[in-house]
């Protein structure tokens, strides 16, 4: 896995993007999101355009951990301003996706920069925050959800998602989400690959002993599969041919209750990955320093 050096952009609230006091910064990197990330990935690759692009142009099946690491860094850049921030990351993503095109298994032409598919991926990231809060934290109020969506629309603009492809309010975004689930999403090879990777995560390196890895990760895989599948919209779950029982529902709710209880007592530094929390601390420090300088002036 290639190691990347990341920097922290000086002004996190550039161009109207969310900063340290925003709903987006508070919600996006919360640790329980690891239990919802699989749901978001399934929602993305169930879109025919995204699924075909991942299947034909991605190394996800062979190197899922390095792919996950790169995706994590990318989201940290455009949400929290790592490196040169959202605008530069948006330009990079456009360049990367420009050549991803082809014909899928059903003979449909696709392009990764299809505006609706590109905007759909962005919407799933907003939905990810809502679902994480609803299941593993304190559910977002109507006002909090609306603030988050307006902040995330600003992030979308930096990523070259056009306003007309992002509904103006969360109510409209929710309606569009339901429409895409009902009319567009499908079972495909990429959804099957993701489900297999969740249930049977491969070792991150060939030198990791497979038997020891399986001993630790198979139970973790069962938990992540439970949460990823259980949080999916029921209609999509059925379309993917996934069995979900009342016993599964009870297990998911018990597990979510335990996570919520743990999160309530964790100190703030332990509620976020180190990289994201470092960005938040630096931004807060810069805000305090800026206010102190204004007062002294």
Burial class of 166 by CB neighbour count within 10 A (0 to 12, 13 to 18, 19+): buried
Q: Is the pLDDT of residue 191 over 50?
A: yes
Can you read off the two tokens belonging to residue 241? Answer: 């041919």
User: What average pLDDT score do residues 30-42 get?
Assistant: 96
Q: What is the end-to-end Cα distance of the chain in Å, rounded?
A: 48
Confidence band of 3 (pLDDT split at 50, 70, 90): very low
pLDDT at residue 296, rounded to an integer: 55
**H/E stretch holding 110:** strand 109-111
Bridge partners of 103, per DSSP, are: 109
Cβ atoms of residues 44 and 120 within 8 Å: yes
Q: pLDDT (tens digit, 9 = 90+) per residue, 216-242?
A: 888 999 999 999 999 999 999 999 999
Bridge partners of 102, per DSSP, are: 110
The pLDDT > 70 percentage for the chain reads: 92
- The span from the CA of 53 to the CA of 108, in Å, is 12
- The span from the CA of 91 to the CA of 124, in Å, is 20
Can you read off the two tokens belonging to residue 36? Answer: 């919802």
- Record the pTM: 0.89
Q: Is the pLDDT of residue 150 over 90?
A: yes
Of 279, 219, 237, whose CA–CA distance to 81 is shortest?
279
Q: Is the pLDDT of residue 12 over 60?
A: no
Q: Is the pLDDT of residue 207 over 90?
A: no
Write down the H helix ranges in the chain: 23-28, 37-45, 48-57, 64-80, 86-98, 115-136, 142-158, 170-183, 189-199, 210-230, 234-239, 246-265, 274-296
Residue 282 vs residue 7, higher pLDDT: 282
pLDDT at residue 13, rounded to an integer: 44
- The span from the CA of 141 to the CA of 230, in Å, is 22
Residue 280 vs residue 230, higher pLDDT: 230
Q: Is the pLDDT of residue 156 over 70?
A: yes
User: What average pLDDT score do residues 40-66 get?
Assistant: 88
Of 88, 90, 75, 80, whose CA–CA distance to 11 is shortest?
80
- The span from the CA of 15 to the CA of 195, in Å, is 38
Q: Is the pLDDT of residue 83 over 80?
A: no
pLDDT at residue 260, rounded to an integer: 97
Of 183, 188, 178, 184, whose CA–CA distance to 51 is shortest?
188
Q: Is the pLDDT of residue 40 over 80?
A: yes
Q: Is the pLDDT of residue 263 over 70?
A: yes
pLDDT at residue 45, rounded to an integer: 97
User: What average pLDDT score do residues 90-95 get?
Assistant: 94
Residue the block writes with tokens 């689930």: 181
pLDDT at residue 166, rounded to an integer: 97
Cβ atoms of residues 7 and 83 within 8 Å: yes
pLDDT at residue 109, rounded to an integer: 96
pLDDT at residue 53, rounded to an integer: 94
Confidence band of 16 (pLDDT split at 50, 70, 90): confident
Q: pLDDT (tens digit, 9 = 90+) per residue, 66-77?
A: 888 888 889 999
Measured between alpha carbons, how far is residue 214 from residues 156, 201, 269 in Å? Answer: 39, 8, 30
Q: Is the pLDDT of residue 1 over 60?
A: no
């Amino acid at each position: 896995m290639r190691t990347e050096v990341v920097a922290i952009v000086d002004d996190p609230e550039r161009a109207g993007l969310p900063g340290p006091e925003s709903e987006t910064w508070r919600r996006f990197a919360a640790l329980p999101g690891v239990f919802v990330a699989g749901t978001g990935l399934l929602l993305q690759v169930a879109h025919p355009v995204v699924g075909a692009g991942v299947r034909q142009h991605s190394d996800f099946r062979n190197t899922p951990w390095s792919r996950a690491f790169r995706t994590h860094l990318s989201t940290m850049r455009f949400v929290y301003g790592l490196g040169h921030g959202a605008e530069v990351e948006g330009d990079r993503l456009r360049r990367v996706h420009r050549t991803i095109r082809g014909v899928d298994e059903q003979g449909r032409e696709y392009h990764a920069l299809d505006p609706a598919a590109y905007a759909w991926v962005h919407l799933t990231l907003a939905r990810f925050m809502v679902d994480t809060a609803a299941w593993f934290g304190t559910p977002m109020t109507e006002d909090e959800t609306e603030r988050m969506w307006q902040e995330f629309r600003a992030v979308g603009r930096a990523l070259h998602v056009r306003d007309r492809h992002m509904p103006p309010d969360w109510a409209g975004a929710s309606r569009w989400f339901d429409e895409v689930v009902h009319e567009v999403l499908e079972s495909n090879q990429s959804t099957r690959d993701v489900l297999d990777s969740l249930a049977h995560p491969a070792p991150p390196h060939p030198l990791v002993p497979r038997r020891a890895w399986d001993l630790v990760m198979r139970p973790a895989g069962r938990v992540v599969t439970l949460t990823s599948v259980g949080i999916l919209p029921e209609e999509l779950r059925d379309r993917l041919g996934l069995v979900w029982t009342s016993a599964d529902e009870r297990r998911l709710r018990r597990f979510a209750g335990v996570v919520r209880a743990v999160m309530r007592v964790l100190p703030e530094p332990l509620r976020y990955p180190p990289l994201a929390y470092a960005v938040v601390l630096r931004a807060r420090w810069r805000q305090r320093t800026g206010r102190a300088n204004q007062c002294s002036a």
